[in-house]
Amino acid sequence: MKIAILISGRGSNMAALAECEERFDICLVAADRAAAGLDSAAQKGYKTALIDRKNYLTKTEHEEALATEIAAHDPDWIILAGYMSVLSETFINRFNGRVVNIHPSLLPDYKGLNTHARVLADKQTHHGVSVHLVTAALDDGPLLAQIKLAIDQNDTETSLAQRVLELEHQLYPAVIAALSEGAVLIDGKNVRWSATERLRTITGGVVCFPQL
């Protein structure tokens, strides 16, 4: 299975996916702005592309350029790894909805930015990570997997962010590897796992979807 990874920053989830590359082929790493993750990807030997949003007058023009670059590499899936631009329905449909995102919250709660600060401000007892199919709505789409952790009374925004990031680096490669192995079955908005072994090795949190 070939994947194209889209980033906007340092690409830590891209690096985590690269460590699991025996299960899939990273055919492209692309960014919508100058990003340290592109340098890291190039050093790992991956094909990279900078499709800088500021060089295009409109979102449509930028997405057309990005889609053309991605299509040239013919990926099976597009993986968003800290990609900060919201993709349009036209872009998503061009790739038959085969776009996946990871988000640091227990969706549908806490969509958008600053999730760690928001859950602490609301005195929530749990936080987590969601991997989902992408739609044109922000942080929306059917769940592929979700994992939660208990918030410690001494957690700060920094400590909570680090714990969540450690879960992201375990969950994302596990889900994408499971996709490549055919263990995640998708029928429209319905998602079913035929095998969950990859999720059982994750530490530091509790998988709440799929049911193990």
User: Where in the sequence numbering do the catalytic residues fall?
Assistant: 103
Distance spanning both ends of the chain, measured CA to CA: 25
Phi/psi of residue 50, each to 5°? -105, 110
Q: Which residue, 131, 109, 96, is CA-closest to 17?
A: 131
* Helix %, strand %, coil % of the chain (to 5): 35, 25, 40
Calpha distance 42→153 (Å, rounded): 41
Q: Which residue, 105, 81, 40, is CA-closest to 175?
A: 81
Secondary structure letter of residue 79 according to DSSP: E
My answer on whether omega of the bond before 104 falls inside 30° of 0, hence cis, is no
